[in-house]
Amino acid sequence: MSMDKNAAPLKNKRALVFILYTVLFYGFWTLWTICIRPEIKDAMAGSLIFEILANCVKLAVWTLPALLLIRKYNSKMFIRFRQMFTERVSLRAAVLWILLFSALSGGERLIALMQGRLHINPDFSLKSHLWLLVVGLTEEAVFRGWLLNATVKNEKDYKMIVLNAVMFLCIHFPGWIQKGTFVSAFTGFGFISILMFSVLISICFLKQKNIVLPIFIHMLYDFILEFWIVS
């Protein structure tokens, strides 16, 4: 009985930490994306130094706290901290997952290629797309490594997988608002691809019990979307 009495406060404390983290994370990122980042970008004229600074901020706000929280509550994670980085993934499984996500991001582009409507993005550059180097690490650490990992009970806990997908969609809202594309993201049904991506990458993470593969896939997925454009 004494163990049960002690377990309840600890569980409530973890839930409180989870809620507090989520509120602070979404609150700060909204403030940063809509108010702070544009001002700094204008002041620094969108230079390479600004892009490096912006990515360092994202690493500090996203990755570092998520990894620290995973370590702190390691025993309560569905997949333990060390296991996430060391679990062996078969070559066959890795190739199949990579091909699946490549098809999701590049399917339309393959059709466009055959129709002669596929082109390299003329605006693609290291300065403007430096974020591709950190997007996988930052977003997978938070949404799969921490938020999903801390809430699922098993690899088929689809309620938490769907909830995680909705949370992943919501973190895109500040960027869409800042760019003025919030409405078009829904009227053009672009939000559906984000939900699909999140659900599938979550399943990949839970089945393979490895965060490195989702990180790589996330980077590859965004690279394909950014490097090739359809006319």
Residue 126 φ/ψ, nearest 5 degrees: -60, -40
State the CB neighbour count (10 A cutoff) for residue 195.
14
DSSP H or E segment with residue 68 = helix 64-72
Please give the C-alpha separations between residue 45 and each of 39, 61, 128, in angstroms, as whole numbers.
Answer: 10, 23, 12
- Judged on CB neighbours under 10 Å (0-12, 13-18, 19+), 151 is middle
**One-letter amino acid identity for 216?**
F
75-85 confidence digits (pLDDT tens): 999 999 999 99
pLDDT of 3 = 46
pLDDT of 114 = 85
Q: Within 13 Å of residue 98, how many CA atoms lie on the same side as its CB? A: 14
- Judged on CB neighbours under 10 Å (0-12, 13-18, 19+), 137 is buried
The closest alpha carbon to 202, from 137, 129, 138, 152, belongs to 152
pLDDT of 230 = 86
CA distance 226 to 120: 9
**pTM assigned to the model:** 0.92
Where do the DSSP E strands lie in 79-200? 118-120
The pLDDT profile of the chain, 231 residues, written as one tens digit per residue, is 444 555 566 677 888 999 999 999 999 999 999 999 999 999 999 899 999 999 999 999 999 999 999 999 999 999 999 999 999 999 999 999 999 999 998 888 888 888 888 899 999 998 889 999 999 999 999 999 999 999 999 999 999 999 999 999 999 999 999 999 999 999 999 899 999 999 999 999 999 999 999 999 999 999 999 999 888
CA distance 215 to 211: 6
pLDDT of 7 = 56
Length of the chain measured in residues: 231
pLDDT of 9 = 62
Structure tokens at 79: 């997949």
Cβ-proximal residues to 176 (8 Å cutoff; 6+ apart), any chain: 182, 185
104-148 confidence digits (pLDDT tens): 988 888 888 888 888 999 999 988 899 999 999 999 999 999 999
